[in-house]
Structure 1
């Protein structure tokens, strides 16, 4: 049986409303902190497209009021499922901005698991948005992703990931970490996000690196959602980086030990 849902989030950002609008309502801006690759047709009635893992989801822009309100909604499937998003941007004193988001819709199947994943996922991505606007303002990020399905149970995956990044299993925000996919020089960073057994994030001078565990009900997958802000000459193109990180994941979680 399906179920209606609603997720509401609010965050204060160290950026102007115009800077926040650029980050949430343009393709290059969204690519700099959110999953996959996005396109936005900047008008009411225009289209948005989000491509993740080769699949593209389209939506229709239902409100376009820069820099204050941006909303869009997907079509409704035969099972009644749909997604709708609303972003409200409000300027505050001293150049800061409050961003409010409403994500609502209708989920089919294992909707409870999907709902919990969305809530925690938005916490991570909004934190990433804040980090992007604070540490990499005006720069366009290259999204880099990799996926290992059936990697390991949450506790085991957390131990493997923290160990690979040079962190203790009890790592706390602020601790030093090392990013080193094969074929690229190691990069030092700092742990800037930690939700034990679910997600950890590292910030370096070059980018924001996110390591996410899906949970047992969603396949014990480990998903990498990185954003690299250095030039291609310094970090390699997205294809090379994705290949390097996919290999890194597969070495950490080899097929014969997945699920252990």
Structure 2
């Protein structure tokens, strides 16, 4: 049965409104994935077939789609309201994701709400530590065997994280290569790792019937998206092929 939903998040961040606006309109690869920027006008085209319904830089952006094309959703709207704080040195952001789910409402809402928290945390990490550096984006997806609720714990163990490692811990990570990082996010569904040059995001989507995913937002000037993606893909395949 179709039913409307609304997910609301508010936060402050050590970035100017202009930096937030740039991130959500042109720098999406820094915290989500690369996508075409919206046309800078009301009525303009935006990503995934959506339309700009509010355009007031750097304060108000809304995009909406009435024909989402996803099996369990018929309408989707994303709104950003951005205000200056501390004389423009900080920004307050109100983010509202709304629309209509047409099937499996509770599960769809749960997944959208939890992903929203993680994506917005990654946006704040980017704005705080890396903006306005350009990004190279890479991603990998685990095999079908990783589509279980236990998969994220297996990935964490393979990365060398202990059960006691929590947000803010400095860890030595055993990924495709060994590196030092800050564990900037951890819950039963997602892991976030921050190095001096990159944000590495691990998505344990087994709860929602999907494989583990990894995205790498690399801010190093010599970053190689193809090599990074292949390295993490091979690593994930290895984790879930072990006896």
* Structure 2 length-normalised TM: 0.90
> Displaced runs of 4+ in structure 1, greater than 4 A?
77-80
Match of 2:22 in 1: 22
C-alpha contact 1:37 1:143 (8 A) present in aligned 2? no
C-alpha contact 1:7 1:103 (8 A) present in aligned 2? yes
Candidates 185, 190, 195, aligned match of 2:182: 190
- State how far apart, in whole Å, the 2-side matches of 1:101 and 1:77 are: 19
The Cα offsets for residues 126-149 of structure 1, whole Å up to 9 and x where unpaired, read as 111111111102112222211123
The Cα offsets for residues 200-259 of structure 1, whole Å up to 9 and x where unpaired, read as 10100111111111133x225211122111013xx3x212211111111111112x86xx
C-alpha contact 1:152 1:253 (8 A) present in aligned 2? no
- State how far apart, in whole Å, the 1-side matches of 2:147 and 2:43 are: 43
- State how far apart, in whole Å, the 2-side matches of 1:132 and 1:96 are: 14
SS in 2 for 1:177: strand
- Shift in Å at residue 179 of structure 1? 4.3
Residue correspondence of structure 1 range 162-241 to structure 2 within 5 A: 162-182=156-176, 185-195=177-187, 197-216=188-207, 218-232=208-222, 235=223, 237-241=224-228
Match of 1:153 in 2: 148
- Shift in Å at residue 32 of structure 1? 0.9
- State how far apart, in whole Å, the 2-side matches of 1:164 and 1:38 are: 35
- State how far apart, in whole Å, the 1-side matches of 2:35 and 2:25 are: 13
The Cα offsets for residues 57-76 of structure 1, whole Å up to 9 and x where unpaired, read as 22111111001100111133
- State how far apart, in whole Å, the 1-side matches of 2:152 and 2:217 are: 21
* Number of aligned residue pairs: 239
Could you tell me which runs of 5 or more consecutive residues in structure 1 were left unpaired when the two chains were aligned: 50-56
Could you tell me which runs of 5 or more consecutive residues in structure 2 were left unpaired when the two chains were aligned: none
Coordinate RMSD, CA, aligned:
2.1
